[in-house]
Each structure stands twice: as structure tokens, then as C-alpha cells.
Amino acid sequence: MTTTVIAGVGICPFGRRLSASHRELGSAAAREALRDAGIRFSDVDQTFVASVGGGAAKAQNIAMSLGAARGAPIVSVEAGCGSSGSALHLGKLLIESGAAQCVLCVGAEKTPAGYVEAGYETWQEESGLAVNPAYFALEAVEFMAATGTTEADLAEVSVKNHRHGALNPNATYRSAVTREEVLASTAVCDPLRLLMLCSPVDGAAAAVLMSQEAARRHGVTGPVTLLAVSVVSRIPTDGFVPMASRIIDGRTSFAERAAHMAFEEAGVGPADLDLVECQDVDSSAELRAYSYLGLCAPGNEAALLRSGATALGGSQPVNPSGGLLSKGEPLGASGLGQVHELVTQVRGRAEARQVQAARIGMAHVFGAGHTASGVIVSA
């Protein structure tokens, strides 16, 4: 089977970029990825643009500013926060089927303040239940009761990730915080406080995928092998409930299943990972990901955090980029932002936040309770 490599990556730093349009954000990240791969847009066989907002023809609008593409297909992909993973999944399938040699995947987002459009039922919006932090808090309470995790542990996730994010020039929030500052920040939904929640922001990231043969032909330097991309979706039977770890009828959660499928496809296991980027939409979400990804047994999540293993300098750093708590979350672009970090790390170019001897990394996202994705790369 054809091997897929990541030939280039690009990013438009995350944040509130009020003067930049959706097209400007996406095309900036795409141009950087094309330069990194050493190719022109006319070399691309197909483009996927992952975005939750952006309106009609968003993919075409971004592509128009990149130059001629020989009529190659340009397709929009939307799967909530799983949009980027879905775009990568499609790109990898095209290359490994032989239908394409070079695919550009772009994630771009302009997130309006007070964003609500996330698949809720009308009755939920009208009754005031269309607020994600409320659901995150319910899940945090359930998790804490089951595992003995404390509010101090939730605070320490934020402390860790903001410490990492202070080293990342692409992050929205680049200041370290203390446990006391986190616990004293505004209460949003008990037990979650403001500094335990990510912020929806603007931003973009991109990756150029190639077959190994095409990468050799184009003289790509530093290609990174895309070992696996898994995508798992579920159809809710009781309306929209954005709780990624919800287990129905004793079955494994779809977020955990996405991780297991990625490991199976890649032929590696949790112990092989040198770093992880996961979707810390709130502090408890990162802790839950520890057991989803097999970094520890269920119930030992807080102990793993307290050990220092998931911090820079530890045995398996999680979110060395700063995660969503520090970077912010540009919804459809967040997954490609994770991949940008993985590629930067395994190439040894992460500077102050570099994970020593990083060779294999994993990104994991879940999108609004419906779609989860796992991505594994190797130097």
C-alpha cells in the first residue's frame, strides 16, 4: 500500500484576529504549508478545507487566493471540531488509493463571539441549554466523583498547559498562570472556572499530504510519515448531547474507539508515543483523554498528572503546544493545529518547547459529541 507523508505544514497564529478574513487566515496557512513542501498550488491534485463557519464556497474562496489549480477539486469539510481530522482522513484515503499524489488540507476558522451554532436542537437553544460549558461541567462532576480527581487537579492541567503555551508563538494566551489564579478565576459552571475552559478564537493551519513517491520526486526534505488517521462518528438517539466520553449501554465511547483504531492502523501502542496533542476544551477533558489514549488505567488520570509525566520534561508530554487552554480553539482548524505541532516536534524544530528525541506523536480530537479522530505521525 502507498505510504502517505506530510510534506509540509503551515499555521496562522491563533487568536482574535478581527481584521483578518476567513480567506486571509486559510490562505496564509496554506501558503506556508506549500512553501514548506517546496511546491506550488498548481501541483496539488485536491484540496480539502475544514471549517465550521465561513459561509458558502469557503473552500473555493481560500483556494482562489492561492493561484491556478488546473481545475483540481476543492471541497469543504465540516464535522465540528473533528473537521480537520475528517479532511486528513479523506486526503490519506485519496493518496493510498492512488487517486491523488498530492493533497492540501486546510483548516480555517473565524469564530464569532457568543458562538452557538453547534448542532443543538431548537428546544435546547430556546430553553438556555445550548451552552457547552454546562455539559462540560456535568461531565467533569461525573469524572471527579468516579476517580477522586480534585478541583486542584483541574487547576494543575491549566497551569501545565499555560506554562507550555507561554513558549509557543502561535498560541493566543502566552502567559503562565498559578494554581491560585486558576482557582480564583470566575466560576462559569461548577466545578469549572474561566481558566479551566478554552476560548473559541480565529486561526488556521494546513498540511500538504503526498505519496512517498511524489515526495521523492519533488525533493521534499524532512517528510513525516502519516501512520494513521481514524475517524469515528456516532448518531445520537436522544438529541444532541456534547459529552465525548459518554458510554451508552456499556459500550466503549466513540472518542476512545477513535484512539484504538488509530493505534491499530499505525501498528504502535500508547507506550510508543513520545508526545500527545489532545482536545482540552476544559481541564477535565485532558484528564479523561489520558485513559482514552491508554496513557494510564481509568481512575489513575490525576495520579499521572501529579507525577509530572505529562509535562514538558516528563516521559509523555501532553499538549506541549499549550493545548486549547492556551492556544484557543478555532473549531475546524484545531485538529490541523495539533498536527502542525506534532510535525514541528518530530522534526526537532519546536525550540524552547521541544520534546527531547520526539519521533512518534498522536493528535486526538472529538467534535461536538458526534465525531472523534486520532492521528499518529512518525519521523
Q: Is a pLDDT exceeding 80 seen at residue 368?
A: no
Beta bridge partners of 79: 81
Q: What's the angle, vertex CA 329, arms to CA 279 and CA 21, rounded to 5?
A: 150
pLDDT digits (tens, 9 = 90+) for 172-190: 999 999 999 999 999 999 9
Instruction: Give me the pLDDT at residue 297, please.
Output: 96
Cell matching residue 192: 469549572
Beta strands of 219-351 (E only): which ranges? Answer: 224-233, 275-278
pTM: 0.92
Q: pLDDT category, 35, cuts 50, 70, 90?
A: very high
- Residue range 140-150, pLDDT digits in tens: 999 999 999 99
* Per-residue pLDDT tens over the stretch 69-104: 678 999 999 888 889 999 999 999 999 999 999 999
* Paired sense of beta strands 202-211 and 102-109, if any: antiparallel
Q: What is the pLDDT of residues 290-329, one digit of tens each?
A: 999 999 999 999 999 999 999 999 999 999 999 999 999 9
Give the closest residue to 273 by CA, choosing from 258, 256, 290: 290
Is 105 one of the annotated active-site residues of the chain? no
Quickly count: other Cβ atoms within 10 Å of residue 357's Cβ.
9
Write down all domains in the chain, each with its CATH number in brackets. Answer: 4-113+202-225 (3.40.47.10), 128-197+227-378 (3.40.47.10)
User: Active site residue: 12, 81, 102, 189, which one?
Assistant: 81
Strands in 371-378's sheet, in edge-to-edge order, are 74-77, 46-50, 102-109, 202-211, 4-15, 224-233, 371-378, 360-367, 275-278
